[in-house]
Amino acid sequence: MIEHRIKKVKANLLLEQPYFGSVAMMQKPKQNDDIQTFASSPEYFEYNDQYLEYLDDQQLGFLLTNSAMHQALGYSNRKEGRQDWLWTMAQDYAINSLLVNNGLSLPDGLLYDDRFDTMSAEAIYKVLEDEIDDIKHTPKEIENIRYEKMEQSHEYDEDPIDFEEQNQQLINKAKLQGDLPLGIEILIPQIDTKTVSWEDELYTLIENSIKFDYQLLPPNKRYLYQNIALPSLSGEKVKLVIAIDSSGSVDGNLLARFLNEVESIMNSFSSFEIDLLVADAKVHEHHTLYPGDELSYTLKGGGGTDFEKTFEYIDENIDKVNLVLYFTDSFGKFPSQQPLYDVIWACPNKEAKVPFGTIVSIGNAS
């Protein structure tokens, strides 16, 4: 089955090229025998199954990424009166240069010219426009391009997906992981570095701190409400300890934000169990949570903060800890010894200083 093969190729692409694989996951495959090769639309990667049979899996991965990138880069909104066929060519040259220079395998017949390796689609269009004559780059030649532009349509099976918004989120995630594709800043006029939320930064740190395998089913729940089917994380059960600072210096609104993010973490990671601790100068509550559990606690505390007591409690009562995530305002007594497991401190104090671990600033959270 072609669709089964496409799913397999996307899964492999996610592991080998996470950003490109995530972009390719945005489109649904759809067989279309009325086209010769493949086509990209705001919703589908449409294909002729006989054409795909001639491609190996690496080349198919290139096509899936090419198709989705046409949507993710918002080219339809950047046309600005340019000729359709020439604008399509410029897009292909730009996208294919990006993919080739990041190690993807170019199928025969697709447009590529290394002179365009450091140029945007807009700049490439200008070059092609200047080269138009009776021999090359005429509308007739568009028939030889292994990319077929779909007619504009506003009829969707479901609500249209905002590919550009989703792509910005994937760009943010790739930036946090140090995994941006080589040269992508040339194709995107402005890579917005200010929209990375503290929640996404925290999520990425958790993911990087714990070793998981990726799987496609069930999908990651964190982005499903935005119609983004990213891979979920699987593997052996891991022990995640989340400590919530309930001291008098942490107000009710901040505690509510802490609990909301704990619930979000529970819905995002499927292969773990959470030990939730509520503590100030001592640990007042200890709950063991699993995916699907609901949080409805009245947090006890209100005194001073002694982080040392919390870590002593963890060492004495919880086995095989992989990661400790501590929601706190960072004011309190810290342990003198660094624990053997990773620690992430999530706090609203931008000037916070901790003796060990990683700080995530939630000062700009809403």
Domain that holds residue 18: 2-149
Q: What is the mean pLDDT of residues 351-361?
A: 88
With respect to residue 265, please indicate whether it lies within any of the assigned structural domains: yes
CA separation for the pair 159, 70 (Å, rounded): 19
Domain boundary among 149, 174, 197: 149
297-355: per-residue pLDDT in tens? Answer: 666 656 788 999 999 999 999 988 888 989 888 889 999 999 998 898 988 877 788 99
- What kind and span of H or E run contains 263? helix 252-268
Q: What is the mean pLDDT of residues 12-22?
A: 87
With respect to residue 140, please indicate whether it lies within any of the assigned structural domains: yes
CA separation for the pair 7, 15 (Å, rounded): 13
With respect to residue 188, please indicate whether it lies within any of the assigned structural domains: no
Task: Count structural domains, the chain.
Answer: 2
Same structural domain for residues 315 and 224? Answer: yes
Same structural domain for residues 114 and 232? Answer: no
With respect to residue 243, please indicate whether it lies within any of the assigned structural domains: yes
| 35 vs 223, higher pLDDT | 35
CATH number for 247? 3.40.50.410
With respect to residue 192, please indicate whether it lies within any of the assigned structural domains: no
Same structural domain for residues 8 and 145? Answer: yes
With respect to residue 165, please indicate whether it lies within any of the assigned structural domains: no
Q: At a CB cut-off of 8 Å and minimum separation 6, what does 102 contact?
A: 17, 20, 181, 182, 183
Q: Which two tokens stand for residue 50?
A: 């006989």
CA separation for the pair 14, 170 (Å, rounded): 12
- Is the dihedral angle over the CA atoms 337, 303, 257, 366 positive or is it negative? negative
First-to-last alpha carbon distance for the chain, in angstroms, is 46
With respect to residue 109, please indicate whether it lies within any of the assigned structural domains: yes
Contact at 8 Å (CB) between 43 and 36?
Answer: no
- pLDDT for 95: 95
With respect to residue 205, please indicate whether it lies within any of the assigned structural domains: no
